[in-house]
Structure 1
């Protein structure tokens, strides 16, 4: 089983954080806590590392992982044609349990899987995750579980499920795990919730014009965007709930 490193106390998590950063830089896969459940993460710009993440979960390239980022400023480096409504939602709910699917910058040299030119982004509201992201940059992160099994809410559960596929497990204590992130698809003509989670529709609508998941879909947008709940594996997928 992978080593579980105590990272509960911010005043003492430095060595554990160093090990996780070094593992990511070597192209290895790690486990980290988030504000929803534990996530399994890898350097978003290392195609082999992302594939190792997918392999660890038993997931195919048709379910690309979301990307966790350290702050909203990173949005413009990864996305293009960002609507003003997306910026408003990010300002209101990041860091937090909101995943935004946007059009990816076409010049990015990454391979997250079959994304169809989109990327699902989230800023987690967890101090350890943010400290890690500030040092590693964007991480591809999915829920720390084998596909089909419940998402891990403890470091021990994540380590048991993923085993030797993981180089480092950061133990930040139990995660809430009570609800996944809400996912909003911003790649069409209208913003649309494709998965309701921790942030209810009414709170989103207080900030921006957002269609609910059951409202009539415009004919031009029947096909799900990559990075959507269908493309990322729905509730089994952390920004997707992580």
Structure 2
């Protein structure tokens, strides 16, 4: 891509038809989902998927999620199961990704799966994403639309800031409502495993399953996105569980602990999740270390704390 060549599109039918045409032609298009903005490319075209990794600077051993418009489209790609059907009936479309064994004749590039025999697949709920995927008519690989390891994008402006000139277009339909990447559940083994906490609370999934999700062993190979120890990171240093900032720090508050910005003055975890990445973007622009107030570690707080721990982890 030439500098400043990234198109800005909207959610109109004409713009989505243009975006779908670009995706079918092997171009990269960022688009909104209810979780974060995704950097989309045809999951069936190896060269296109390689372009996703290149645009993000993402390591190719880190698999991608294939986004599809319906459960039937997912069944064309993976080996479906009764457990998958039960979870999908409860939570799709929505902020949940399932990892299942690939189906014979799936057609998905091995770059999407990082060579694994499984595929991470999701049916997003955002109406613009739904319409775009329907127009494309095939699976779209879409990691978060940001440079690899950095703060995830929840607005089109975030995408332009990180990827302008590297991708064909950005579809702008306002801020993302959930604000955290999807929860990922592995269904390729004998029991369901939580591979990444996210925008759907683990407790809700366990209620539907009638059993607890197993935890992934941190020493296991990467089997889904969002498992790198350092990820979602600002340029500035991040300090967690801070009751107050130090003199050289900005403060990201929560509830009664106010600061330069507050994830949710009322202590609402859904509001905090929706605001997390945008707040980190705003504070990081000031290039000053960031201290973060304690966040309760239940419900969506589990996923918020997961992102914050990775943001604060030592960088390579």
TM-score surpassing 0.5?
yes
Kindly name which structure, 1 or 2, has the bigger radius of gyration based on alpha carbons: 2
- The CA deviation at 1:188 is 1.0
Counterpart in 1 of 2:7?
3
Greater length-normalized contact order (CA 8 Å, ≥ 6 residues apart) = 1
Partner of 2:60: 61
Structure 1 contact 228–234 (Cα < 8 Å) conserved: no
Partner of 1:211: 213
Q: Is the 8 A contact 2:63 2:225 kept in 1?
A: no
* Paired residue secondary structure (2:161): helix
Aligned to 1:92: 90
CA deviation map 1:112-162 (0-9, x unaligned): 252411110111110000001111121000001001211111112202211
TM-score, length-normalised on structure 2? 0.66
What residue is the counterpart of 2:127 in the other structure? 127
Pairwise CA distance, 1:194 = 1.8
1:70-149 → structure 2 map (5 Å cutoff): 70-80=69-79, 82-109=80-107, 110-111=109-110, 112-136=112-136, 137-149=138-150
Q: CA deviation at 1:83?
A: 2.5
Aligned-partner Cα distance in 1 for 2:171–2:73: 24
- Structure 2: segments with no counterpart, 5+ residues: 234-303, 305-316
- Give the deviation of 1:225 after TM superposition: 5.7
C-alpha contact 1:120 1:227 (8 A) present in aligned 2: yes
Alignment of 1:142-157 (within 5 A): 142-157=143-158
Gaps of 5+ in 1: 8-12
Which whole-Å deviations, capped at 9, do the CAs of 1:193-234 have from their partners, x for residues lacking one?
Answer: 1222222222112211342427xx6xxxx7446335438x97
* C-alpha distance in 2 between matches for 1:70 and 1:21: 13
Q: CA RMSD in A?
A: 2.5
Task: Say which SS state the counterpart of residue 143 (structure 1) adopts.
Answer: coil
TM-aligned CA distance change 1:213 to 1:88, over 3 Å:
same
Q: Across the two proteins, how many residue pairs are aligned to each other? A: 227
Query: Matches of 1:25 and 1:235 in 2, distance apart?
Result: 29
Task: Flag the 1:64–1:204 CA change in 2: closer, same or farther, 3 A.
Answer: same
> Partner of 1:195 in structure 2?
196
- Say which of 224, 236, 258 aligns to 1:227: 224
Counterpart-to-counterpart distance in 2, 1:225 and 1:153: 25
Sort the Cα spacing of 1:37 and 1:70 in 2 relative to 1 into closer, same or farther, 3 A. same
- Alpha-carbon offset, residue 60 of structure 1: 2.0
Report if the CA contact (8 A) 1:190-1:210 is conserved. no
Corresponding residue for residue 161 of structure 2: 160
Q: Give SS of 2:153's match.
A: coil
SS at 1:148 equivalent = coil
Distance across 2 between alignment mates of 1:74 and 1:200: 25
SS in 1 for 2:50: helix
